Amino acid sequence: MTEQREITGQSEERGLQVPSSIPAAPTSYPTGRAWLLASLKRYRGDLLRGTFFVLVSVVFGVFVPRFVGRAIDDLTSAGVSYSALARSVAMILGTSIVSGVFLYFQRRTLINMSRYIEYDLRQDFYGHLQRQPLEFFQSRRTGDLMARATNDLGAVRQIVGPAIMYSEQTLFRVLIILPLMFQISWRLTLILLATMPFVSLTVKYFGEQIHIRFEKIQEFFSEISARAQENLTGVRVVRAYAQEGAEIAEFERLNNEYVKRNLGLVRLSAVFRPLMQFFIGLGFAAILWYGGRLAGMGRMTLGEFTAFNLYLEQLIWPLIAMGYVTNLVQRGAASLKRMHEIMKIEPSIADGEQVQTGREIVGRIEFRDLDFSYEENGPEVLKDINLVIEPGMSVAFIGRTGSGKSTLMNLIPRLLDARPGMILIDGRPIREIPIAELRGAIGYVPQETFLFSETLAENIAFGVERASPEEIAWAAEVAGLESEIAGFAKGYETLVGERGITLSGGQKQRTAIARAVIRAPKILILDDALSAVDTYTEEKILERLRTMMRTRTSLVVAHRISTVKDADLICVMDGGRIVERGAHDELIARGGLYADLAERQQLEEELAAS
């Protein structure tokens, strides 16, 4: 009795803080471009500063050819002085230094900006995934979502970083240098411009091909990621069936195909840039030939001819960069499209305008004529469920596999969504309760136990803020886990491995129970949460849970009669309906489905013991 009083007291007085809000959903953007522009708008100050630094760097850079040209003309004249030559050298060095300093600032500002935008996009994307309901993840592979959040996002970042920076450099240099070249010789400038249509057509054709091929490559990369993720997650099954060789061979096939597709893109890019340089080189060759003749004929000075060629040199990289930027933009656009395919999917379960905050949940649950199907016009999984569960009641659900027990449990915290008005909590339609408040009042142990690759203490305290070691130990004690934790070398600091791989099935289930209990929930849901423990341990856990949950509503789904026999109410489900309800003795006396299950299990136990 002393132990019971201590446990009950701790459950009522701990006052742990459960997160009371879910991050608000980001604005819905109709296109990927709108999403990217909205992110870019947040850093418009950095964009403007970076653009200014690009402009200043280009402006000071274009002074160098003019100063070099004047110095050459001075050297070819008879009256050159060392002071004039020294002044020209100082001006060339000064402008080069200033241009270099602002080149540093432009790279630091714009590339930093792209990293912050990458951070925001990743946060938006991850938050959007967190708000999606269960059926979203049932229809999409985890590896594909991971590829979009990593590989695709990296390609998108290139658009708002290097692509913007090099595009601005090209634009400013062309706008500033071309008039200066016209001023020196309009004939030579027209020769250069004559080759530009060929460059533009090259960029257009190859840009479209790069976009198409890169989008297909990213889709295939998602398939590889999904295959690797599934194999690593299911490594026990792969080894149990001795399929390591087959899986390695299949991964090799996928990897070879991925390399083949990438090499195809590499070959395309390998043709793209040389072809651009060829057309640009044609213009440069013509300029050198014709400009040399003009200089020889005295129509332009040697200094002007030198300055013109230095301007040409400054235009080489911007013109070549057009191909590089096109490559980046097309890759990024393909990846942005893939990411936005996920971002445009609105969560089907979310707070509506009718939600009302500020009312504490007591724990009364009511199902009114509840019907449910996973797909519109699909077969009904639950049919005509009518049930009222008063606060503090313990209600058990038992029945054959596929009778709808887990589906019914998932509807209470709105992991699945029933039609309006069919489920009420404390007399309120469940859709009027904010999702964060609803789930914050529920301790849920799902049928499939999931543990994070963290310590035991962190797994138990998941979902609460600032849980003390004493509170974690209390939850473990209620779950019947304390003696086994004491046997671990690192105790509560023991790492459980991915998905709790270092623990037994029973230990994982009890850790999940402790995680639900530590929240001191108003409603506790145990969905077949004791299937992996023996009957002795099960009885100990149930006894402690009964003590703790006297003033709280508890719902227990089970297949064993021993798990449910002491519940206030037992509901027997079959074919999505509640076909029997009552206390254990009452249902046994009735001689229905529950009595048949009890008889079968008793016979199995007797056979196992003999």
| Domains of the chain, residue spans | 32-343, 358-441+555-610
Which of 177, 192, 166 is CA-nearest to residue 61? 177
More confident call, 420 vs 143: 420
For residue 566, pLDDT over 60 is answered with yes
User: What are the backbone angles phi and psi of residue 371, rounded to the nearest 5°?
Assistant: -125, 150
Residue 445: in which H helix or E strand, if any? strand 442-445
Helices (H), 131-243: 134-138, 142-147, 153-158, 164-184, 186-194, 196-233, 235-240
CA dihedral 558, 560, 563, 565 (to 10 degrees): 110
User: Of the ranges 190-199, 403-412, 464-473, 524-533, which one carries the lowest mean pLDDT score?
Assistant: 190-199
> Which own/partner pairs from 578-584 qualify as long-range (CB within 8 Å, at least 24 positions apart)?
578/385, 578/386, 578/387, 581/387
Degrees, nearest 5: CA angle 92-97-100: 125
Find the mean pLDDT for residues 456-474: 85
More confident residue, 113 or 355: 113
CA distance 34 to 271: 33
> In the predicted model, is pLDDT for residue 67 greater than 70?
yes
14 has a pLDDT exceeding 50: no
- What's the CA dihedral at 7, 11, 14, 15 to 10 degrees? 180
| pLDDT tier, 298 (very low <50, low <70, confident <90, very high otherwise) | low
Model confidence over 383-406: pLDDT tens digits?
999 999 999 899 999 988 888 999
The confidence band for 480, taking pLDDT boundaries of 50, 70 and 90, is confident
Answer yes or no: are the C-beta atoms of 226 and 151 closer than 8 Å: no
Other CB atoms within 10 Å distance of the CB of residue 249: 11
Beta-strand pair 423-425/394-399: unpaired
CA–CA separation, 594 and 493 (whole Å): 43
Q: Determine the CATH number of domain 358-441+555-610.
A: 3.40.50.300
Measured CA to CA, the distance from residue 41 to residue 482 in angstroms comes to 53
With bands split at pLDDT 50, 70 and 90, how would you rate the model's confidence at 303?
A: confident
Q: Could you tell me which residues are beta bridge partners of residue 570?
A: 396, 582
Rounded Cα distance between 214 and 334, Å, is 7
Sign of CA dihedral 455, 460, 462, 465: negative
pLDDT value at 149 more than 90:
no
| Out of 14-23, 47-56, 76-85, 372-381, least confident range | 14-23
Q: How far apart are CA 313 and CA 284, in angstroms?
A: 9
pLDDT (mean) for 165-191: 85
Q: What is the mean pLDDT of the chain?
A: 82
Residue 27: CB partners within 8 Å, gap ≥ 6?
38
CB 416 within 8 A of CB 348: no
What tens digit of pLDDT does each residue of 306-335 get? 787 788 778 777 776 777 788 788 888 888
State the average pLDDT over residues 48-56.
94
Comparison of pLDDT for 218 and 7, the residue scoring more: 218
Cα–Cα distances (Å) from 584 to 396, 528, 575, 588, 597, in that order, read 10, 18, 21, 6, 12
Partner residues linked to 557 by β-bridges: 397, 527
Inter-axis angle of helices 82-130 and 44-76, nearest 10? 160
DSSP character at residue 493: G
Tell me how far CA of residue 122 lies from CA of 117, 129, 146, 163, 222, in angstroms.
Answer: 8, 11, 11, 19, 17
The secondary structure element, H or E, covering residue 570 is: strand 569-574
Judged by DSSP in three states, 421 sits in coil
> Cβ distance 8 to 547 under 8 Å?
yes
What pLDDT is stored for residue 262 in this prediction?
85
Judged by DSSP in three states, 555 sits in strand
Question: Helix (H, G, I), strand (E, B), or coil: what is residue 54?
Answer: helix
Q: What band does 12 get if pLDDT is binned at 50, 70 and 90?
A: very low
Three-state DSSP state, 455: strand
Determine the average pLDDT of the residues in 279-287. Answer: 75
How many CB atoms are located within 10 Å of the residue 299 CB? 13
> Distance between CA 181 and CA 196 in Å, rounded?
16
> What tens digit of pLDDT does each residue of 516-557 get?
888 888 999 988 887 777 777 778 888 888 777 777 899 999
What does the pLDDT read at residue 244?
Answer: 78
What is the structure's pLDDT at 27? 62
Q: pTM above 0.75?
A: no
Fold annotation for 32-343: ABC transporter transmembrane region fold (1.20.1560)
Structure confidence at residue 78 (pLDDT): 56
24 confidence band (pLDDT: 50, 70, 90):
low
- What radius of gyration do the chain's Cα atoms show? 35
User: Where would I find the H helices in 344-426?
Assistant: 405-411
Q: CB–CB of 446/412 below 8 Å?
A: no
The lowest-confidence range among 367-371, 497-501, 508-512 is 497-501
| Residue 589 scores a pLDDT above 50 | yes
Asked if the domains at 32-343 and 358-441+555-610 fall in one CATH topology, the answer is no
**pLDDT of 609 above 70:** no
Element (H, E) at 557: strand 553-558
**Do 58 and 136 contact (CB within 8 A), yes or no?**
no
Give the lowest-confidence range in 93-97, 215-219, 378-382: 215-219
